[in-house]
Chain A
């Protein structure tokens, strides 16, 4: 069965360190998204990609970057982790660009000390 996975599931890091969160999907979807979820804010879009070599900034992209070298993977990098980036991160993919149904990974819980 097709799926979308994230790793690690939990991560504790220190302020200033570079952190990369992995996202891998076997749906063969062109469209992939990264969100963060914080209490009271719902899910907020960080970056998204409509295909290989395509990346776009979302609502809360400062301090984050992504790269898309193949269809299956969209890693999210925190260049220099800050305590404000402590959150739960979800990766998602969709068949259509308008995100008609997004399939989410299980999430990564990141704590920045």
Chain B
């Protein structure tokens, strides 16, 4: 089982749709969580951190469920420019620091 798992998609949605991505992690000692965005043939860039209390940044909402060991990303009112791959990232610090990237979920937003 992978340490961080994501549905690879692709998710094909029309403009204006709401789309949700989930990510599960296996290490209960994981400490911090992030969503990164990666455009085709580009480098990953931080989209948002994920806090226990949940956090929102405009059309994007991230949530963490420690009990079930998953994090989610909700995108409301999808734009064409949201088309990208979304990477779930989990940090642990047990026996040494470790950052684990999920394989990513591909999103296509269509006009």
A binding-site residues for B, Cβ under 8 Å: 33, 35, 40-45, 56, 90, 97-102, 104-107
Contacts and interface: CB of A to CB of B under 8 A. Distances in A.
Contacts, number: 46
A43 B43 contact: no
A23 to B, nearest CB: 12
B93 interface: yes
A45 B102 CA distance: 12
Contacts of A107: 41-43
Contacts of B26: none
B45 A104 contact: yes
Contacts of B34: 101
B99 A42 contact: no
Contacts of B93: 98
Contacts of A45: 98-99
A41 B102 CA distance: 8
Contact of B49 (A100, A105, A106): A100
B32 A105 contact: no
B43 A99 contact: no
20 contacts: A35-B101, A40-B8, A40-B103, A41-B103, A42-B101, A43-B87, A45-B99, A56-B96, A98-B31, A98-B91, A98-B97, A100-B49, A101-B46, A102-B44, A102-B46, A102-B99, A105-B43, A106-B42, A106-B43, A107-B41
